[in-house]
Amino acid sequence: MKSSVESSISAKVYMTLTEEEARALLGITAYGSDQFIKYFFEHLGKFSLEDHTEGLKSLFESIGPIEHELKKIDKAREEFKKTQGKNS
C-alpha cells in the first residue's frame, strides 16, 4: 500500500487603512514592485526583504482596487462640496 500525507499552514491578515494611509500606500506602489525592489535593495539592502519579494509583488498587485475606491471618495467629496455651496 502506498500513501502520502501533505500538511500546510495558511494564514491571512486583515487590516483597516485610513484614507491617508491608503493614499500613501498607493503612492509607494505607483512605480511598480520591480522598481520598488530594485531601489530598496540598492539603497537599503536585501537583508529584510530578500526572502519576501514574491509576497511584495503580490501585495503590489492587490493594491490596484484601492485607486478605484479613492477615486470614488474624491468624487463623493466633490459632490458634497457642490451641495454645500448651494446651501450658502
pLDDT for the residue 47: 87
pLDDT for the residue 8: 95
pLDDT for the residue 87: 64
Dist CA 43 CA 69 (whole Å): 32
pLDDT in tens, 20-29: 999 999 999 9
pTM beyond 0.85: the answer is no
In the chain, % of residues over pLDDT 90: 82
pLDDT in tens, 66-88: 999 999 999 999 999 999 977 65
Burial of 42 (0-12, 13-18, 19+ CB in 10 A): exposed
